[in-house]
Structure 1
Amino acid sequence: MTEPRTPNEPATQFKPAILSVDDDPGVSRAVVRDLRRRYGENYRIVRAQSGEAALTALREMKLRGQPVAVLLADYRMPGMDGIEFLEQAMDLHPYARRVLLTAYADTDAAINAINVVDLDHYLLKPWDPPEEKLYPVMDAQLDAWLCTDQRPITETKVVGHRWSARSSEVREFLARNQLPYRWYMSDEPEGIRLLEAARADADHLPVVITAGGQPLVDPTDAELAEHVGLATIPSKDFYDLIVIGGGPAGLGAAVYGASEGLRTVLVERTATGGQAGQSSRIENYLGFPDGVSGGQLADRARRQASKFGAEVLTTREVVGLEVNGSARTVRFADGDSLAAHTVIVATGVMYRRHPAPGIDDFTGRGVFYGSAMTEAPRCADEDIYIVGGANSAGQAAVYLSRSARSVTIVVRAPSLEDSMSHYLIQQLEQIDNVRVRSCSEVVGVEGADHLERITLRDNNSGTEEIVDAQWLFLFIGAAPGTEWLDGVIERDSRGFVLAGSDLLVGRSRPPGWSLDRPPHHLETSVPGVFVAGDVHADSAKRVASAVGEGAMAVMLVHKYLAKP
């Protein structure tokens, strides 16, 4: 007897599978017994008694990312014979080796199957003794499979259409939440195989397949968060501090609040980091002389807050704020609510919607607000247009210029000097494929299923020019999005939250103010509710100042809790 051989197991969290399908229970058990005895240490031996049952198992393994090394199918099975099974199985696992188990009388069918299903081998019954008739065949097939190096993809998979706005949003959601995923086009072979395994079709995209193998068809952000391991439900009914917003100010407040012993929860609508989290490179933030990406900074801050005990909840949209005695209650869009002694509003700002006709129709299909970092690899060797003259636009231009054919920054101002940091302007001047088109604006867009052309107007001459462009990134100012505070918190004419001394202009105290003392520096018109970051009226709109205000707001929270 030859010494048993154990092929090397590929580097994967799953054992590769060897699947045997035979409708005869006795034969099925015997095949699996012999396979398990020889290969069970390094391979998962799967047994099925019908072609349909085997295909169901293969779909589940496809969704989980489990590799399939060998398919061993009996030729004579009712309902679906071995050749029909292998023909369908190869659509799911094209790299699995295919072996047909046949009787002597069926050898002609087995030979014909070589052309039909690209059969790798046929094995005659009986296979006893396996050391002579079964194992040499299996060893050769496993060696051949190992040489293909078809390593499985075990992280989250996203299948979608290239120009689907929702597919783009899902990818951005996963990326901004630091969740690894693999993208598949719905019309490419592997995308088609995954849709088949998920029993989904191209009319209902995107399809997200979790690392555990669960398919989600066109999921909402909340459904995504629930199935990919993000926290969405608070662990307590009442907190010392609720921080609303997960940008630099909110993360700073969560870190300092939790580290100083406050029961702290941070509530974020989409992903931590805010607008800063989408920046490709922040080079003027203290302590990072070589620069840091917004995503890296947000990830470190989130982990730091969690280390100190702060809870971070995602996909929870706050739609209201109430005063209930000494408690401050925030209401969520889904009808739930959460209460605390104090609240810090750190919701930052959103990019303003561009008014040009057609922009909304192409959002997510060539038009993107912010940097949309997940789209950057697809912009290689393309002509890109960026609208906006602030630092975020400059950082995006520097980043995208590395692979784009050209990057054009479109600004209405005569230059970038009044809106962009000097260091960024200097960098842009040194990049050959970046140009600034001043005194100009986008006044129209065109295309079929995605952006194909934009219309630019020169505001000095009034002339218009149509240029070919598939990529337009918009960074056009800030809107606070504070309508949910109507009737509760005082704001300025643009919607930014007023606090501290700004509430006392021309009066001794804000309307409805119930305390003997005046509001603290970052305290709003509601005692115990504070503001930090870009949503604060007249804020500096810099990452460092936002983090600083988050920390300062926590200091004032302590003052309030000590003596309201």
Structure 2
Amino acid sequence: MADTPSRTGSPATHDTDLIVVGGGPAGCAAARMAAGVGMRSVLIEPDALCRNLYRIPALNNVLGGHTSGPALADSITAELKSTEPCRLALGRRVVGLRAADDHVAVTLDTGTRLTAPYVVVATGVGPLQPRDVPWVTAPDAPTLSPLWQAEADDAEDRTLLVLGGDRPIGTFLRAHPTTATRLLVAYPEADAYKIEEIRDDARVTLLPVEHLILSPSEGTAVTAEAVRRDGERHPVTADAAYVSIGNAPTAPPGDLVRGPDGYCPPPRQHPRVIVAGDLRSARFQRIMTALGSGSEAALHAYYAARDLPVSG
């Protein structure tokens, strides 16, 4: 791409002022904030903007009056598509990220190479599967859908075995308050603090386990053996199985520093690589924290490009 005058008033020596990798709430907030301070950006997303929000039927913890994920996603998408300083590269995947002293370079799956002074990486996380955790044995290593993707028809008058006690279970129950279902929630001790919000729901049966052994699938029923913490073993039967184990980071390949858990702690990254949203840590996987961290990441790039202190 040819050099063009930057919206910040200085000559552009790169393709854009900021590259944003990931089109979830954090990435969209970064691109919107960048536009607000006069920075051009390119937002790269292999799917649709805010694609995971469209799978959250009920919200009760975000500003703006939105009560469903699709409503929030539609609002964010419409605003970003009308934000002229942001160029969207949808349907594109990052296959390489390299950080140098004075710029970052991002390579797309098309072979296109983009450069900018800074990059915000906000690629988020994906659902863990039984094969990813030590407390589940699954002989045929099934790939299970996360519970928050289930529809009311999937649960009505059915017993669902849910692996893990992660918080999207509460989201599912709030989204389907009148659905007659029974959730058998098998969870390890590490998830004990997560199940408080669902403990009193009459549709939930909690199964604290030391280990869970899924049997090979036979027909449509799901069978398993729950090994409790006292060593007792109990058979479990359900109509279907879903996961709510948690998530794993989905960082692009390249110059990102990953911790032992796969997440990318912001303080450990190259100065020109700014991590935002769920990719930072398992502790901050909330829509509101993602929006805030994306906005902060863009401001970090803005101030750093001008050698200005972040606070002042």
TM-score, length-normalised on structure 1?
0.46
- SS at the partner of 2:16? strand
Are residues 462 and 280 of structure 1, via their aligned partners in 2, closer, same or farther at CA, if it must alter by over 3 Å? farther
Taking the TM superposition and a 5 Å limit, the aligned residue runs for 1:347-366 are 347-355=123-131, 356-358=137-139, 360-361=141-142, 363=143
- SS at the partner of 2:258? coil
> What is the one-letter code of the residue matched to 1:437?
L
Query: Quick check: 1:384–1:469 contact (8 Å CA) kept in 2?
Result: yes
- SS at the partner of 1:530? strand
Q: Tell me the alpha carbon deviations over residues 342-389 of structure 1, each in whole angstroms, 9 at most, x when there is no partner.
A: 21011112222212324644x3xxx3135224x443433221122222
Partner of 1:307: 82
Q: Does residue 255 of the first structure (1) align with residue 32 of the second (2)?
A: yes
Instruction: Return the alpha-carbon distance in structure 2 between the equivalents of residues 263 and 330 of structure 1.
Output: 16
Choose the corresponding residue for 2:60, options 283, 299, 309.
Answer: 283
Query: Quick check: 1:241–1:262 contact (8 Å CA) kept in 2?
Result: yes
- Cα drift, residue 242 of structure 1: 1.5
Q: Tell me the alpha carbon deviations over residues 55-80 of structure 1, each in whole angstroms, 9 at most, x when there is no partner.
A: xxxxxxxxxxxxxxxxxxxxxxxxxx
- SS at the partner of 2:97? strand
Partner of 1:157: none
- Cα drift, residue 404 of structure 1: 4.1
Query: Quick check: 1:379–1:403 contact (8 Å CA) kept in 2?
Result: yes
Taking the TM superposition and a 5 Å limit, the aligned residue runs for 1:134-533 are 238-273=15-50, 277-288=54-65, 292-309=67-84, 310-323=86-99, 326-355=102-131, 356-358=137-139, 360-361=141-142, 363=143, 367-373=144-150, 375-400=151-176, 402-413=178-189, 416=192, 418-420=193-195, 424-425=197-198, 429=200, 431-439=201-209, 441-448=211-218, 451-482=220-251, 484-485=253-254, 488-500=255-267, 503=268, 524-525=269-270, 527-533=271-277
Partner of 1:67: none
- Gap regions ≥5 residues in structure 2: 1-13, 132-136
> What is the one-letter code of the residue matched to 2:78?
R
Are residues 481 and 414 of structure 1, via their aligned partners in 2, closer, same or farther at CA, if it must alter by over 3 Å? closer
> What is the one-letter code of the residue matched to 1:266?
L
Query: Quick check: 2:226–2:236 contact (8 Å CA) kept in 1?
Result: no
Instruction: Return the alpha-carbon distance in structure 2 between the equivalents of residues 249 and 279 of structure 1.
Output: 16
State the structure with more CA Rg. 1
Q: Percent identity?
A: 25
- Cα drift, residue 399 of structure 1: 3.1
> What is the one-letter code of the residue matched to 2:98?
E
| Runs of 4+, deviation exceeding 6 Å | none
- Gap regions ≥5 residues in structure 1: 1-236, 504-523
More displaced stretch, 454-463 vs 547-556: 454-463
> What is the one-letter code of the residue matched to 1:268?
E
> What is the one-letter code of the residue matched to 2:296?
M
Instruction: Return the alpha-carbon distance in structure 1 between the equivalents of residues 95 and 180 of structure 2.
Output: 40
- Cα drift, residue 552 of structure 1: 0.8
CA RMSD of aligned residues (A): 2.9
- Cα drift, residue 306 of structure 1: 1.5
Choose the corresponding residue for 1:534, options 278, 297, 301.
Answer: 278
- Cα drift, residue 494 of structure 1: 2.0
> What is the one-letter code of the residue matched to 2:60?
E
Are residues 446 and 293 of structure 1, via their aligned partners in 2, closer, same or farther at CA, if it must alter by over 3 Å? farther
Query: Quick check: 1:317–1:332 contact (8 Å CA) kept in 2?
Result: yes
> What is the one-letter code of the residue matched to 1:388?
G
Partner of 1:127: none
- Cα drift, residue 440 of structure 1: 5.8
Query: Quick check: 1:348–1:480 contact (8 Å CA) kept in 2?
Result: yes
- Cα drift, residue 268 of structure 1: 1.8
Higher relative contact order (CA 8 A, sep 6+): 2
- Cα drift, residue 314 of structure 1: 3.1
Query: Quick check: 2:97–2:252 contact (8 Å CA) kept in 1?
Result: no
TM-score, length-normalised on structure 2?
0.79
> What is the one-letter code of the residue matched to 1:528?
R
Are residues 259 and 456 of structure 1, via their aligned partners in 2, closer, same or farther at CA, if it must alter by over 3 Å? farther
> What is the one-letter code of the residue matched to 2:288?
A
- SS at the partner of 2:189? coil
Are residues 280 and 437 of structure 1, via their aligned partners in 2, closer, same or farther at CA, if it must alter by over 3 Å? farther
Partner of 1:547: 291
Instruction: Return the alpha-carbon distance in structure 1 between the equivalents of residues 155 and 16 of structure 2.
Output: 45
